[in-house]
Amino acid sequence: MSTALITGGSAGLGLEFARQLAAAGHDLVLVARDAERLRQVAEELGPAHGVAVEVLPADLSVADDVARVAQRLAVVGGRPGEGDLRPVGLLVNNAGFATGTRFAKSRVTTERRSIDVMVKAVVELTHAAVGQMLERDRGAILNVGSVAALTAGGTYAAAKAYVRTFTESLASELRGTGVTVTLLSPGFTHTEFHARAGVPESSIAPEWGWLNAEYVVRTALADVRRGVVLSTPSARYKAASALLRVAPRWAVRALGSYR
């Protein structure tokens, strides 16, 4: 089975991607800032599934850290200096966070970090992966966006809108090659995301508006295997996305003020 590199592999959706991909026999490269949590995940999944789990601690808001992860992604296999590293066959650009405050109240350093992690790092890591995957004429890239990309929900939504357009564009560019590109657009999902932003989940949506990480990841991986470009788990969020795409902009702007 191929090796999967997952950013944000220490918690939430990223941890669920690690679990499901390890269970399917994939070796893993896990990227996040919390090295101890990554090591715990590696100790859980490696022996349990008989897969190799590399831990690659990195802060994706730090350019040198992103460059180190990009270097790992660029490995083709068998080249001088690559040792026994295997090429990454699946890149999951998953790491992300909410700034948790309205723009005017936010620290500009937080806004910059948001763009660094959810836009700049996604572009740089995707570029590194595409190069080696095209050389091998096989591979898959899964970028984690959000239904929020269709709203006017602050700079977080703006970052996800970039990822949406970037991913669809790349999917078109690579059509006909052995490399597939998928955009995952989850709705509200129970993870650490909102707690980290200091926003109680109960204040955002009723329980019927929430998804669980296991279902979101299972759906996303099934769509990646099928080469689907747009993966939006659940009928309700498919419907919500369709409505957002046709809704008058004043309504979309009004919805954006929900945070």
Ligand X SMILES: CC(=O)[C@H](N)C(=O)O
Ligand Y SMILES: NC(=O)C1=CN([C@@H]2O[C@H](COP(=O)(O)OP(=O)(O)OC[C@H]3O[C@@H](n4cnc5c(N)ncnc54)[C@H](OP(=O)(O)O)[C@@H]3O)[C@@H](O)[C@H]2O)C=CC1
Active site amino acids: 156
196 binds, among ligand Y, ligand X, none (CB under 5 to 8 A by kind): ligand Y
Among 52, 82, 86, 97, the residue binding ligand Y under the rule CB under 6 A is 97
Contacting range for ligand X; rule: CB under 6 A; set: 1-9, 127-135, 185-193, 241-249: 185-193
Question: Smallest Cα–Cα separation from 96: which of 24, 184, 27?
Answer: 184
What the block records as the tokens of 167 is 């991913």
- What minimum distance in Å lies between the beta carbon of 28 and ligand X? 24
Q: Answer yes or no whether residue 193 interacts with ligand X by CB under 6 A.
A: yes
Q: Answer yes or no whether residue 11 interacts with ligand Y by CB under 6 A.
A: yes
What the block records as the tokens of 86 is 């295997």
**Would you say 22 and 48 are in contact if contact means Cβ atoms under 8 Å apart?**
yes
Of all residues in the shown chain, the one whose CB is closest to ligand X is: 146
Q: Which amino acid is at 241?
A: S
Taking the mean position of all CA atoms in its chain, how far away is CA 3? 16
**Would you say 188 and 197 are in contact if contact means Cβ atoms under 8 Å apart?**
no
Which run of H or of E encompasses 48?
Answer: helix 35-49
Interface mask (CB under 6 A) for ligand Y, residues 123-152, using x and -? ---------------------x-x------
Rounded to an integer, what distance in angstroms lies between the CA atom of residue 199 and that of residue 103?
16
Q: 111 or 136: whose CB is closer to ligand Y?
A: 111
Q: 67 or 195: whose CB is closer to ligand X?
A: 195
Rounded to an integer, what distance in angstroms lies between the CA atom of residue 249 and that of residue 247?
6
- What minimum distance in Å lies between the beta carbon of 143 and ligand Y? 9
Interface mask (CB under 6 A) for ligand X, residues 98-127, using x and -? x-----------------------------
**Would you say 106 and 154 are in contact if contact means Cβ atoms under 8 Å apart?**
no
Contacting range for ligand X; rule: CB under 6 A; set: 59-67, 140-148, 225-233, 243-251: 140-148
According to DSSP, the residues that pair with 93 across neighbouring strands are 143
Q: Answer yes or no whether residue 168 interacts with ligand Y by CB under 6 A.
A: no
Q: What are phi and psi of 139, to 5 degrees?
A: 155, 170
- What minimum distance in Å lies between the beta carbon of 93 and ligand Y? 8
Residues that bind ligand X (CB under 6 A): 98, 146-148, 153, 187-188, 193
